[in-house]
Amino acid sequence: MTEWVVEAKDITKVYQMGEIEVHALRGLSVNIAPGEIVSIMGPSGSGKSTLMNILGCLDRPTSGEYSLNGEAVAELNDDQLAEIRNRGVGFVFQSFNLLPRATALANVELPMRYAVLNGRNRKKVATEALEAVGLGDRIHHRPNELSGGEMQRVAIARALVNNPAIIMADEPTGNLDSKSGDEIMTLLKNLNKDRGTTLIIVTHDPEIAELTDRVISIRDGRIAE
């Protein structure tokens, strides 16, 4: 069972939009092995973001089974889900989502502050993470003093600081110029290589998808073969 990091079976997700039921996912199964780099592709409205939210434990499926690191998620309550996100998943968003008033260091420390083991060496770990993404000289800068590429690096440092099994990146290069975008992709690939972190990248850019081991195409809430 535990040979997969991500093991999703017959996942459906139905949103209630007023009177209308929207079927975002219609019975979708996906397995991802540890250390894999997978991209999820599909046109907008295909359900790829919904899938990522469910895989990242930000949302629950309407039906279906989902195990992350061998742990069945369906039965867990909100706080237990929060704990899983804290320990097991790192998020990288298209719009970076850094705390604007906090320094790069404080931003990276954030997941550790909510961790059950409230380590004393938070600052050290956060500094190391920033050094790993090449921002060792920027740790006291605030987001508005950083470029887009640098902000995304801070976000990546934040994502990996609790040593998660998976990093989920939602259009990580969507708000960046191509040069910074390439740098971010290289960084993510290196992390995968050095640490063995599983990487799930949601994108609609075929060039990004080409850099990954496997492409999962989604159309109308189903996997398009």
Partner 1 sequence: MNFVSSLLEALESLTSNKVRTALTMLGIIIGVGAVIAMLAIGNGTEQAIVGEIEGIGTNLLFVMTNREDVTNPEPLTIRDAEAIADPIYAPSVSAAAPVIQGQAELTAGGNVATTGLVGVTEEYRVVQNVELSEGEFFTGTQITGLASAVILGTNVAEDLFGRSDGLIGETVRVSGQPFRVVGILKKKGGSEFGNSPDDQILVPLTTAQTRLLPRTTKNQVDLIYVSAIDADSVQQAEDQISLILRDRHKIKLGEDDFNIISQEMFLDMASTVTGVFTVFLGGVAGISLLVGGIGIMNIMLVSVTERTKEIGLRKAVGAKKKDILTQFLIESSLLSVIGGIIGIILGWLLSLGIGRIAAASDFILTPAITINSVLLATLFSAAVGLFFGIYPANRASQLEPIEALRSE
Instruction: Give yes or no for residue 111 binding partner 1 (CB under 8 A).
Output: yes
Q: How many residues bind partner 1 (CB under 8 A)?
A: 25
Among 135, 138, 158, 191, binds partner 1 (CB under 8 A): 158
| By CB under 8 A, residue 165 contacts partner 1 | no
> What's the min distance (Å) between Cβ of 200 and partner 1?
15
Compute and round to an integer the Cα radius of gyration of the chain.
Answer: 17
Residue 31: name the closest of 47, 67, 7 by CA: 7
* Secondary structure of residue 169 in the 3-state scheme: strand
Is position 23 an interface residue for partner 1 (rule: CB under 8 A)? Answer: no
Structure tokens at 210: 């080409």
What residues between 59 and 98 interact with partner 1 by CB under 8 A? 59, 78-79, 82-83, 85-87, 91, 93, 97
124 binds partner 1 (CB under 8 A): no
Structure tokens, 118: 């409230």
Residue 99 has φ and ψ, to the nearest 5°, of -75, 120
Cβ atoms within 10 Å, residue 58: 15
| Structure token digits, residue 35 | 């250390």
For residue 141, state whether it binds partner 1 (rule: CB under 8 A): no
15 is a contact residue toward partner 1 (CB under 8 A): no
User: CA of 117: how far to CAs of 83, 111, 163, 212, in Å?
Assistant: 11, 11, 13, 33
- Region from 52-60, 135-143, 200-208, 215-223 binding partner 1, contact rule CB under 8 A: 52-60
User: Residues interacting with partner 1, by CB under 8 A?
Assistant: 53, 56, 58-59, 78-79, 82-83, 85-87, 91, 93, 97, 99, 101-102, 110-111, 113-115, 118, 158, 162
